[in-house]
Amino acid sequence: MEWWMIVYTDSLDGITPDKLTGFFVGWLNPPSAETHLRVLQGSYKFWLAVDDTTGKVIGYINAISDGVLAAFIPGLEVVPEYKGQGIGTELVKRILHSLSHLYSIDLMCDADVQPFYERVGMHRYTGMILRYYENQSGANP
Ligand SMILES: CC(C)(COP(=O)(O)OP(=O)(O)OC[C@H]1O[C@@H](n2cnc3c(N)ncnc32)[C@H](O)[C@@H]1OP(=O)(O)O)[C@@H](O)C(=O)NCCC(=O)NCCS
């Protein structure tokens, strides 16, 4: 039987790009692990789930914000081998708590994930988006 312990952290201490692999599954032009680290460094708040036995990050969530009224959650992902164990739910709960001093917390998601977010108290709404797919990897300056 495999045994691992999941540790949750909002610190990047000891987090190097080699610990941030396996994310952006299915993206055509995915960010590199180095770019992923830059995303976390530039975020207002984030939480990581780390496999204590390997030290690898196996889930993340991040939020960007004006720090006064509004926040947006652009990223949440659990690497495939660790899905379905409550890690995604725990990450959402932790970031919502970290943002609970703000007025609005928004995110965009596909319809099939809406029940997942409803379970932590979020509501369905209508949004608008724009995507520049040539920038999807985040490699552009
Ligand atoms: C969404 C995601 C973060 C959930 O992480 P997780 O650790 O597997 O989530 P949990 O174990 O806490 O909860 C799983 C529950 O959410 C549901 N769920 C998760 N992803 C879902 C999806 N895409 N469609 C429908 N239901 C989904 C599961 O059915 C499960 O429900 P159950 O407990 O009744 O069986 C993970 O599936 C993932 O990384 N998906 C790819 C990236 C993504 O879609 N991110 C969200 C962007 S808005």
Cα(88) to centroid(ligand 1), Å: 6
pLDDT band at 141 (very low <50, low <70, confident <90, very high): low
Percentage of the chain beyond pLDDT 70 is: 97
Q: Is the CB of 35 under 6 A from ligand 1?
A: no
Res. 2 pLDDT band, cuts 50 70 90: low
pLDDT reading at 124 higher than 60: yes
**Predicted structure pTM score:** 0.95
- The tens digit of pLDDT for each residue in 12-26 reads 999 999 999 999 999
- Rounded to an integer, what distance in angstroms lies between the CA atom of residue 133 and that of residue 29? 8
User: Tens digit of pLDDT for each residue in 88-97?
Assistant: 999 999 999 9
Tell me, in angstroms, the distance from the centre of ligand 1 to residue 113's CA: 7
Q: How far is the CA of 18 from the centre of ligand 1 (A)?
A: 24
